[in-house]
Structure 1
Amino acid sequence: MQRKAIIIGATGLVGQHLVKQLSELYDKLIVIARRPPRYINASMHFYQVNDFDNLSEVFASVGVDKTTDAFSCLGTTKKQAGSDEAFHKVDHDYNVCFAQLCLDKGVENFFLLSSMNADVDSRFLYNRVKGETEHSISALGFTELVIFRPSLLLGKHKGRPLESISQTVFGLISPLVSESLPLHPISAKRVANAMTMSAQEIYERRKFSDYHTKDAPKTTIIENKAMLSMTRVKS
């Protein structure tokens, strides 16, 4: 059986690492983005979408079915979006729309990049919207929904100077700080590693199961500390 994956948010900090890893793990990788990812190989099928309001139109032509795993690393900031409403549209509405389109095509496994402290009751917009997105996608009923909640992401990210400064500072001190601390920063590549490892674990667990039997929906949340642990290089 050909293994397929589909991803949105492929050009972001985590997404650009995840694209490369998924292309090496899956027989076919479908990328939906406004611009091509930096890394492209023969297994990739790129679909350009200039406006995510038209995502359903693009979806009509992609070959997604129950053999496909879906990944979302789509996200922005209020500053980039321009307003609270625009931020909510990108981080919540587009993600939920993508998830629903995947589910309608028979996708059973969904992997969502969220954030530490995601909480529908948070007084902070960013954390609240992340929490709402988790809640909305959890309610859809995927067979396997895995949510990843990283702390501060380390890596090069254009257009976010304050984050770049923070990353530089934390990048210098992080080797001196125990990874057992929940707020320890994590590299975007390690988050992508955790997402790929989780997808492979589910595949290995289910490949000999009866796919005609519908399992009860299951949601797994992988916090920052767990991602650091599962991606730690053993000496």
Structure 2
Amino acid sequence: MTVLVLGATGLTGSQVVRGLLERAEVRRVVAPVRRETGLSHTKLDQPLVDFDAMDSQAELFAVDAIICCLGTTIKKAGSQEQFRKVDYGYSLKAAELGRLAGARALILMSAVGTSATSSIFYNRVKGELEEAVRGLGYPYLSIYHPGLLLGQRQEQRTAEALGIKAMPLLNRLLLGPLEPYRGIEAATVARAMVNEVCELAVNADRASGQQDWTHRDICRLAGD
């Protein structure tokens, strides 16, 4: 199987790439990036891409499956408009190009609490993206809805850092219907995504339908 990973330099995406490279089910990993990452592997292809002109490199998206972990923050993006451009625009364009090129599976990182009608901008953009990709006709679509992602980021996110410190206590209180809001290690999400796409490679007959995963599902897929 050939798998393309969007967001390959991010907290979760970088671990997805490394995980895929270790799996015999994966023949090739395509990880479009803006800049060189320094990671090298015989199965890894890291083409430099202008995400504003992905159409010009549409051949990169001729893969079996796409794992999209692309995402930013409003603070890092600089504005709501730029945030939407990355989280919605780039992700959707990549998914469209993949489907047009014959990709049969899409695994998308979203977030808990998303809705296209949410009054919260972040949740609304994520929800609108989910609705858009559901209409692309992927034979297999899997959408992840994790809570706060835990792990060591390259950049500082003050609000998230405070949340991460509080999560061990909060997780004990998030029970029953609140369980999906538990914080979760990015490494756990990455393992789940790698396991899922490799299962599709082995059992192609199961590669159909639409899945929505929350905290407990993700932990199960990761083998935790």
TM-score w.r.t. the length of structure 1 is 0.85
Maintained 8 Å contact 1:7/1:70: yes
d(CA) in 1 for partners of 2:114 and 2:36?
29
Residue 96 (structure 1) aligns with:
92
Maintained 8 Å contact 2:112/2:180: no
Maintained 8 Å contact 2:3/2:29: yes
Residue 143 (structure 1) aligns with:
139
Residue 167 (structure 1) aligns with:
164
Greater share of helix: 2
Percent identity reads: 29
d(CA) in 1 for partners of 2:84 and 2:174?
34
- For these two proteins, the number of residue pairs brought into alignment is 219
Over 4 Å off, 4+ runs: 174-180
Residue 18 (structure 1) aligns with:
16
**What runs of 5+ residues in structure 1 fail to find an aligned partner?**
210-214
Map 1:85-234 → 2, pairs under 5 A: 85-157=81-153, 158-170=155-167, 172-173=168-169, 181-206=179-204, 209=205, 218-233=209-224
Deviations 1:122-147 (A, max 9, x none): 00001000000111011001000111
d(CA) in 1 for partners of 2:202 and 2:41?
25
d(CA) in 1 for partners of 2:85 and 2:174?
37
Maintained 8 Å contact 1:19/1:39: no
Maintained 8 Å contact 2:61/2:98: no
What letter is aligned with 1:197? N
d(CA) in 2 for partners of 1:114 and 1:190?
15
Deviations 1:65-124 (A, max 9, x none): 4xx211110011111111111111111111110001101111111110111111001000
d(CA) in 1 for partners of 2:175 and 2:22?
28
Q: 1:35 to 1:174 in 2, by over 3 A?
A: farther
SS of the residue aligned with 1:40? coil
Maintained 8 Å contact 1:47/1:58: no
d(CA) in 1 for partners of 2:174 and 2:187?
19
User: RMSD between aligned alpha carbons?
Assistant: 2.2
